[in-house]
Amino acid sequence: MTSLETLIKRAGPHITPAWEVALLFPEQGMWSEEEYLHLTNQTSRLVEFADGVVEVLPMPSERHQDLVAFLYELLLRFARATGGKVYFAPFRIQLRSGKYREPDLVFLRSADDPRRQSLFWAGADLVVEVVSPDDPDRDLVTKRREYAEAGILEYWIVNPLDETFSVLERRGDVYAEHGVFRAGETASSPSLAGMTILVDDLFSV
């Protein structure tokens, strides 16, 4: 069931959605990049875009946000020490013409990287996603493929469903596992020298 169908079901048979508002926007598959960027500048919701189709992502849970906050603080300290830059969602990166994602965290090793732009970044050195229970394959399969195709060197997947922390590094056009780390282990980064994460600390937040 789509998020729209869920909302309609919850609203009940006597509540009519504001279809007139929906008609102000393009049909799915007909959105332009300019219309998508305008929409996301008007809302704090996570909205992603691929080839004319917009996808509104579910609001994150408190647990999700705790995990993102932990890693953001870690990456922020690293960025300040090394001259990098890190942001948290909602913030867009362009994977290619016609495709935008909003990772939970995005990182560039240099604040002077030309991919850093005000409306969106045209890529990143590292992206982080916390797996959402509504559609785990979006983070585990779809985005793994997309981020590798976009040339992003490293992808961290935080999975609260089984409490694993996966560090993927790009080899050729695909990601290979640098490591899948669990309780009692210390994760490391193949591209950020000296970066380590205690898995127990991450999942105890």
Comparing 13-17, 115-119, 125-129, the range with the smallest average pLDDT is: 13-17
Is the separation of the CB atoms in 74 and 80 below 8 Å? no
Task: Write out the H or E segment, with its range, that includes residue 171.
Answer: strand 164-171
* Count of other CB atoms within 10 angstroms of residue 43: 10
pLDDT band at 2 (very low <50, low <70, confident <90, very high): very low
Higher pLDDT, 56 or 124: 124
The DSSP 8-state label assigned to residue 173 in this structure reads: T
Distance of alpha carbon 139 from alpha carbon 67, whole angstroms: 15
CATH numeric code, 62-203: 3.90.1570.10
pLDDT tens digits, one per residue of 171-185: 999 999 999 999 999
Range in 24-33, 60-69, 82-91, 120-129 with the lowest mean pLDDT: 24-33
Average pLDDT over residues 120-148: 94
- Supply the pLDDT for residue 72: 98
Say which residue, 132 or 178, is predicted with more confidence: 178
Average pLDDT, the chain: 85
pLDDT at 41: 59
Structure tokens at 33: 């990049």
**Which burial class, exposed, middle or buried, applies to 56 when counting CB atoms under 10 A from its CB (0-12, 13-18, 19+)?**
middle
pLDDT in tens, 13-45: 556 655 555 655 667 776 676 766 666 655 666
Q: What is the mean pLDDT of residues 73-91?
A: 95
DSSP string, 97-149: TTEEE--SEEEES-TT-TT--SS-BS--SEEEEEPPTT-HHIIIIIHHHHHHH
Question: Is pLDDT at 66 greater than 70 in this prediction?
Answer: yes
b/e map 80-111, b = 16+ CB within 10 Å? eeeebbbbbbebbbbbeeebbbbbbbbbbbee
Q: What is the pLDDT of residue 30?
A: 65
3-state secondary structure of 64: helix
The β-bridge partners of 177 are 168
Does the pLDDT of residue 149 top 70, yes or no? yes
Each domain of the chain, given as residue ranges in start order, spans 3-56, 62-203
Q: How many residues does the chain have?
A: 205
Give the mean pLDDT of 141-153.
Answer: 95
